[in-house]
Amino acid sequence: MAHVLAADIGNTIARFGLLETAGAGAEGAPRLLSACEVTTRQPITADEARMQLGQILSELTGKASSRGGACPSPEGSILSCVVPTLTDAWHRALADTVPGRQLVVGPGLRSGVKLRFNDPSEVGPDRIADAVAARAAYGAPVVVVDLGTTTNFEAIDASGAFCGGIIAPGVALGARSLAEAAARLPIIELRAPERVLGRSTREAMQSGVVLGEAARIDGLLDAVLAELDNDAHDATPVIITGENADAIAALLRHKVTVDDTLTLRGLALIWQANQRG
């Protein structure tokens, strides 16, 4: 077995996980030992990232140890970063902190999933990790809905290829945009109101933002599942992950599975696939 530190740097939240994986040339699902998340700092220097990474590693190893015995240090790392200006700083910080191979998800790195895109280099690294983990855990076809600064859909067809997706504004971004663009609209708590028709400005905004997001996801899932064009599209697994996944899942009419660690496990699988036997 080998241990890897996975770093998923998003626009708003950065997630880190310590995972146990099969060794080079072996197969098997990675096991998440511990995870934590921090606010993404922009901009950040390599020195600042390295200092933050030291605290993160201490937190991860402490959590893992508290759940059962000693926790080995990671033997390598893998980075997914959707903010291009931060990629170099975090890559250098990981190289200075974690021994072994340091991988960055992008062109040239083997994922094992065919990308049916006009320009595969445009596909975000987090979306690739989602696709890898979803196919490994749930088979194909499968659809992933990843909630963050953007709401992303990733569709894996029956052949196991990443055949396309959707990118839309995320629920928090929608709420913030309303408050910033309209002088009299407040910043709201992201929770579902008791009724669709709000009886206050806040309730009306919560209905539009939160219930509207659920309705949008349901409507898009109808179209995505139909476009996948398989005979049993009603049985195609739909996986939801990311921020507020549990809350949004409870509002959907589609049957979905909440998987909070999907992206981190996908990164570990990509790291595993790129080790030399």
At residue 70, the pLDDT reads 66
CB atoms under 10 Å from CB of 205, counted, come to 23
| 26, containing H or E segment | none
**Residue 69: per-residue pLDDT:** 62
Q: State the residue for tokens 């970063």.
A: 81
Do 143 and 224 touch, CB atoms closer than 8 A?
A: yes
Assign domain 129-262 to its CATH architecture. 2-Layer Sandwich (3.30)
**What per-residue confidence (pLDDT) applies to 276?**
73
CA 172 from chain centre, in angstroms, equals 16
- The answer to whether residue 126 is catalytic is yes
DSSP state for residue 207 in the 8-state scheme = I
What crossing angle do the helices spanning 125-138 and 262-273 adopt, rounded to 10°? 90
Q: With contact defined as beta carbons under 8 Å apart, do 56 and 36 qualify?
A: yes
pLDDT at 22: 81
Strands 13-21 and 101-104: unpaired
Fold match, 2-104 / 129-262:
yes
Please give the pLDDT value at position 112: 94
Rounded to the nearest 5 degrees, what angle is found at the Cα of 214, between the Cα atoms of 251 and 196?
Answer: 75
Catalytic, out of 96, 119, 126, 234? 126
- Domain ranges within the chain, ordered by starting residue: 2-104, 129-262
The C-alpha R_g of the chain, in whole angstroms, comes to: 19
CATH of 2-104, one of 3.90.1640.30, 3.30.420.40, 3.30.70.3280, 3.30.465.10: 3.30.420.40
Are the C-beta atoms of 140 and 159 separated by less than 8 Å?
Answer: yes
What pLDDT score does 28 carry? 79
**Cα–Cα distance measured from residue 112 to residue 107, given in angstroms and rounded to the nearest whole number:** 13
Query: Per-residue pLDDT for the chain (277 aa), expressed as one digit of tens each?
Result: 899 999 999 999 999 999 999 865 566 799 999 999 999 999 999 999 999 999 999 999 999 888 876 677 899 999 999 999 999 999 999 999 999 999 999 998 999 999 999 999 999 999 999 999 999 999 999 999 999 999 999 999 999 999 999 999 999 999 999 999 998 999 999 999 999 999 999 999 999 999 999 999 999 999 999 999 755 557 899 999 999 999 999 999 999 999 999 999 999 999 999 987 5
Whole-structure pTM value: 0.94
